[in-house]
Amino acid sequence: MRGLWTTDRVRAAEERVMAVVPAGALMRRAAFGVAVVAAELLAGGRRVGLLVGAGNNGGDALWAGYYLRKRGVAVSAVLLTPDRVHAEGLAAFRRVGGRVVDRLADVDLVIDGIVGLSARGPLRPDAAEHVAHLDAPVLSVDLPSGIDPDTGATSGPAVRAHTTVTFGCLKPVHALADCGDVRLVDIGLAGELHGPDLVELDVADVGLAWPVPGPEDDKYTQGVTGIAAGSATYPGAAVLAAGAALLSTSGLVRYAGAAAEGVRARWPEAVCTGSVTDAGRVQAWVVGPGLGTGLGAEAVLRTVLEAGVPVCADADAITMLANNPDLWDARDPDTPLVLTPHDREYERLAGPVGDDRVTAARKAAERFNAVVLLKGHATVVAGPDGRVLVNRARSSWAATAGSGDVLSGVLGSLLAAGLDPVLAAGCAAKVHVLAAELAADGAPIPATSLLGAIPDAIRAVRPL
């Protein structure tokens, strides 16, 4: 589990530490860390270029240049705002023979000290011009310049980092955007940082949480998953969601709906009926994928919400909740509800997602008193209690039709097994991403292949 802290929290912690350490000490610790990683990345190379912005991020780069010069590396620096440059850093850099140049040329590594925690918006045109002409790998100081530190959003030119060296703690950008290989340098903030704003689950967290049968278990004790999905028009959604539930946990899966025949044909082990009212007892429902939004579908959603068990509401269920707010009344507010919108479904529920996906997920979680899993390349899970988990995919192969139906089935089975709903959503997102990666292995895949890779993904996260 990795914690991530927003820039406000980082600055507050830095201020408290700076009050008790000598001036400049934090920056020199940070810069020394950058220089160590730069020396490692240089391998046989001998020439480093610095892109230096107006603030302390540029100061870090200049001090890193100073330490590299002392190791005999040739270092040149472009000062993007010569009238506003970290004066001590520049003096130290010059003292050891660092050169100030108009443009970087023939360097083996670039250190990006354009902007850090104070970044707003994309790279400014002059900085973008320098970045566009780089052909050496880039080591970013704190974060790749041009990406928003708190949202990970990029709305124009930005640095593409090979590696990012950050200080004290990880910030949201490191989980939400591509920062290359992220290295964390300890600058002594730990004692001043309390609970993180966001959390990224790691493979071990997911493996430990994943439900597996014990000696006392039978098919019922592990939680029965109910799938209320699919229709005559979209039977495939039911097959995918039911299959995902079957492959995610042992135990029993019930399917209820118009696609019973197709589900039974593909998954003989599923217990299938035509209607949710005669489905039998379940410990969680998945409702919505391929269900439609007509009156019959509304009745299904209402029955499921009234059942008093955790519900994962996806796809058409979200559209119905957005279109017909009366449906919310069917729900017992003390029973967990997980909503799994993509951006357009989110918009129907709560307006445009915007650049700040974490805030968007948080706001909807609070407003609907539900866990919200906002899908995308970076998936954000927000709980009504303020917890937020983030999970960025390392590939985009999951962006394929039916892939969300698979996610809902995985998530429903974890709810049925009794996992805390925020953890269930985080674990489902992680295994889904992993399954997509394993199945694709470098080539496009249909959602059926993603589904088929769920067992391998679970094996990959489970403890040995």
Ligand X SMILES: NC(=O)C1=CN([C@@H]2O[C@H](COP(=O)(O)OP(=O)(O)OC[C@H]3O[C@@H](n4cnc5c(N)ncnc54)[C@H](OP(=O)(O)O)[C@@H]3O)[C@@H](O)[C@H]2O)[C@@H](O)CC1
Binding residues for K(+): 57, 112, 145
Verify binding: residue 375, ligand ADP, rule CB under 6 A.
yes
- Of 37, 41, 107, 119, the one binding ligand X by CB under 6 A: 119
CA-to-CA distance for 35 and 41, rounded, in angstroms? 10
Q: Judged by CB under 6 A, does residue 66 bind ligand X?
A: no
310 SS3 class: coil
Q: Which amino acid is at 212?
A: V
E strands, 2-58, are: 2-4, 47-52
- Do residues 206 and 427 touch, judged by C-beta distance below 8 A? yes
Q: How far is CA 455 from the centre of its chain?
A: 22
Binding segment for ligand ADP (CB under 6 A), chosen from 258-266, 358-366, 397-405, 453-461, is 397-405
Strand partners, 78: 51
User: Near ligand X by CB under 6 A, which window of 121-129, 193-201, 258-266, 334-342?
Assistant: 121-129
Annotation: binding site for AMP:
375-379, 404
Stretch that binds K ion, among 20-28, 137-145, 210-218, 300-308 (CB under 5 A): 137-145
Q: Is 445 one of the binding residues for ligand X (CB under 6 A)?
A: no
Helices (H), 324-419: 343-350, 357-368, 403-416
Residues 59-98: x where in contact with K ion by CB under 5 A, - otherwise, as a string: ----------------------------------------
Calculated CA dihedral for residues 255, 256, 257, 263, nearest 10 degrees: 20
**Residue 222 touching K ion (CB under 5 A):** no
Q: Does 56 bind ligand X (CB under 6 A)?
A: yes
> Is residue 92 near ligand X by the rule CB under 6 A?
no
Say if CB 368 and CB 360 are below 8 A apart.
no
3-state secondary structure of 36: helix
State the nearest-atom distance from the C-beta of 404 to ligand ADP, in Å: 2
- Which candidate, 8, 377, 359, places its Cα nearest to that of 169? 8
- Decide: is 28 part of the binding site for ligand ADP (CB under 6 A): no
Q: Which residues contact 149 (CB under 8 A, 6 or more apart)?
A: 7, 116, 117, 119, 142, 143, 171, 172, 173
Which of ligand ADP, ligand X, K ion, none has residue 403 at its interface (CB below 5 to 8 Å by kind)? ligand ADP
Annotated binding site for (6S)-NADPHX: 56-60, 116-122, 142, 237, 290, 342, 405
Based on C-alpha coordinates, what's the Rg of the chain? 25
Asked if 123 interacts with ligand ADP (CB under 6 A), we say no
In terms of CB distance, is 130 or 362 closer to ligand ADP?
362
Regarding 154 and contact with K ion (CB under 5 A), the answer is no
349 binds ligand ADP (CB under 6 A): no
Q: Rounded to whole angstroms, how far apart are CA atoms 161 and 183?
A: 12
Q: Which does 399 bind (CB under 5 to 8 A by kind): ligand ADP, ligand X, K ion, none?
A: ligand ADP
402 binds ligand ADP (CB under 6 A): yes
- Scanning residues 161 to 190, which ones bind ligand X (CB under 6 A)? 167, 187
Is 116 a binding residue for ligand X by CB under 6 A? The answer is: yes
Among 257, 255, 249, 166, residue whose Cα is nearest residue 214:
249
Element (H, E) at 154: none
Q: Which helix (H) or strand (E) holds 447?
A: helix 447-452
Distance (Å, whole) CA 48 – CA 126? 20
In the complex, least distance from residue 209 CB atom to ligand ADP, rounded to whole angstroms: 19
Closer residue to ligand X, CB minimum distance, 118 or 233: 118
430 is a site residue for ligand ADP (CB under 6 A): no
Choose one: 2-10, 105-113, 286-294, 389-397; the region binding K ion (CB under 5 A).
105-113
Stretch that binds ligand X, among 24-32, 285-293, 294-302, 455-463 (CB under 6 A): 24-32
Comparison of 54 and 424: residue with beta carbon closer to ligand X: 54
- Choose the contact partner of 404 out of ligand ADP, K ion, ligand X, none; CB within 5 to 8 A by kind: ligand ADP
Alpha carbon distance 73, 240 (integer Å): 57
Asked if residue 291 binds ligand ADP (CB under 6 A), the reply is no
**∠ at Cα 409 (405, 411), nearest 5°?**
115
Q: Is 407 in the site for ligand ADP (CB under 6 A)?
A: yes
DSSP 229: -
* CA–CA gap between residue 89 and residue 63 (Å, rounded): 5
Candidates 450, 463, 427; CA nearest to 244 is: 450
158 lies in the site for K ion, by CB under 5 A: no
Dist CA 224 CA 407 (whole Å): 17
Q: Which member of 141, 179, 259, 411 binds K ion (CB under 5 A)?
A: 141
Residues with Cβ within 8 Å of 96's Cβ and at least 6 positions away in sequence, in order, are 66, 69, 70
User: Closest CB to K ion belongs to which residue?
Assistant: 145
Which residues are near K ion by CB under 5 A? 112, 140-141, 145
Which residues are near ligand X by CB under 6 A? 14, 18, 26-27, 30, 53-58, 60, 114-124, 127, 141-142, 146, 167, 187
